[in-house]
A and B are shown apart, each in its own frame.
Chain A
Amino acid sequence: MNKESMCEKERRRLEKLNKFQLSHSYKKIGIIASITIFSLMIAKKFIDEPDWVKPILSGLLLVSMLLISLAKEKVEDEYIDSLRSQSYRFAFIVVIIYSLVQPLVNYGVGILFDETETLKGFDYFQVLFFMLVVQILVFYKLKRYNK
């Protein structure tokens, strides 16, 4: 296999991966699952549950939100695709800035009240959850602007 055909194959694989989307019905499944899991996470705070429940619920919540994010719209065309790209780009940049600035703000505010306050980062769930929330909200907001 020569270098050119390998590059071509790689390019096509990347293009296929880039265009990957789920059918529209997954959106409903994602919404129902997200609401259910989110309610369970809130309910969990009032019930004594084993430690392994939290990471499982967090993981399931991220997966169900990813279903919403990847599900096609009823009519999925190039315009919707461009709105989707804009929302991913926006979410990516906002979350990076947020995760860099927010710990400093927390630290700054914390040190005013408690001198032993230490600089803490975010866990992966907070970052991914925030990124998915921003992406989904921005996408639907952009769609609504052009109704």
Chain B
Amino acid sequence: MKNTLKVQRAIKDLTQDDLAKEMGVSRQTINSIEKGRYVPSTVLALKLSAIFGISVNEFFTLEDDD
């Protein structure tokens, strides 16, 4: 699964730490999501969607092997 979190974060000029604090998770969580090592739960995906004001589908896209 690919995601555009890093790009969206850059557009909003947020650091990983800022976003982590806003979402109530650790910075490592944001880092692993950005690197594609961790697929967040629906709750976290919806929180991201609410913070950035874009739909979950714009954040995450399935890859061929998913």
- Chain A interfacial positions (CB closer than 8 Å to B): 73-75, 77-80, 82, 143, 146-147
Contacts and interface: CB of A to CB of B under 8 A. Distances in A.
Nearest to A74: B26
A127 B8 CA distance: 48
A71 to B, nearest CB: 15
A77 B31 contact: no
A47 B22 CA distance: 56
**Majority secondary structure, A binding face:** loop
Contacts of A74: 26
A77 B26 contact: yes
B37 interface: yes
B49 interface: no
B28 A82 contact: no
B14 interface: no
B25 interface: yes
Interface centre among A73, A80, A143, A146 (most CB of B within 10 A): A146
Nearest to B33: A79
Contacts of B44: 78
Interface string B24-36: 1110110110010
A80 B38 CA distance: 11
